[in-house]
Amino acid sequence: MIFRIFLFLLLTCLVLLEQVYEDDDCDSVDLRLANFLFITESNKTMTISWRLINQTDCPVAFHLTVVDTELGVVEDVILDDNSTSLASFSPCTEHHLTLRAISKDVEGPNVTAAIWILDRGKYLKHIVMEAPILKTLEVKATSINMTWTLEGNANRCLLKTFHVQGPYVNVTVPLQDLEDKAVVSVQLQSLKPNSMYYFNVTVENSGGVSPATQMAVQTPELSDNRLLW
């Protein structure tokens, strides 16, 4: 019985000593990071991964900050894994990434990088806008007033023009001086009452012309003006 108690106490001491030594090792863990590895998943999503220069079995977390040069901090997260997927990148805009490893109360040195979404890893990638989305629609006998929603800050490649084109409609709105990059107003005038109009709506930026949003609108009689949307 005494031998069993002695053996139990001995094993307990060994376990405690092992934990102490492990804690001491983790207090001096090397938290230096190797550089980022970037993989572009899509036009606006990027996967980044990293590793410690010297691998360790100690618990390590990672503090990642992403700064948009125009909007400020867009990501500020603590991660357990050594990779993550970021969907907060805007084309044609510079972003700054800062990453450091953390173990207990100890923080490692920062690793930083300036990121642009590039085409084939060499050139700035200009990405077309998504199709415009109708926001408001006011239909009168001889005119149609519309506002459209664009991507805004989600795509900051240079805006050029907004097009409304159809068999009897052809309107182009310059966008270079647009204050609110997310909303465009357009008016179709000199229309015929009680007539159906078909047209495609697109937006052009430095990446090209967006997919079209198709519209079909019936103008009312002269005495019947309508707010449809």
**Sequence-ordered alpha helix ranges (H) in 28-59:** none
Split the chain (229 residues) into runs of 10 and give each run's mean pLDDT.
48 40 62 79 78 86 92 92 84 90 86 77 78 97 97 93 96 93 96 96 96 96 67
What's phi and psi for 3, nearest 5 deg?
Answer: -65, -40
Give the containing element (helix H, strand E) for 195.
Answer: none
Tell me the domain boundaries of the chain. Answer: 33-124, 133-227
Strand pairing report for 144-149 and 159-166 = unpaired
Q: What whole-number distance in Å separates Cα of residue 215 and Cα of residue 186?
A: 14
Residue 59 class from Cβ within 10 Å (0-12 exposed, 13-18 middle, 19+ buried)? Answer: exposed
The strands making up 37-40's β-sheet, listed across from edge to edge, are 37-40, 46-49, 83-86
The two structure tokens encoding residue 16: 């405690």
The bridge status of strand 183-188 relative to strand 144-149 is antiparallel
Angle at 187 between CA 183 and CA 191, to 5 degrees: 155
**CATH topology for 133-227?**
Immunoglobulin-like (2.60.40)
The first and second tokens of residue 207, run together, are 């990446």
User: What is the model's pLDDT at position 59?
Assistant: 85
**What pLDDT does residue 114 have?**
85
In one-letter notation, the amino acid at residue 169 is V
Look up tokens 């007033």; give the residue: 145
Of 30, 36, 25, 29, the closest CA to residue 82 belongs to 36
| 195 and 144 Cβ atoms separated by less than 8 Å | no
Whole-structure pTM value: 0.75
Is residue 196 a contact partner of residue 166, using CB atoms and an 8 Å limit?
no
The type of residue at 85 is S
Q: Quote the CA–CA distance of 184 and 171 in Å, as a whole number.
A: 13
pLDDT for res 150 = 97
**What is the fold of 33-124?**
Immunoglobulin-like (2.60.40)
The reported pLDDT for the residue numbered 106 is 82
Q: What is the dihedral of CA 196, 128, 130, 39, to 10 degrees?
A: 160
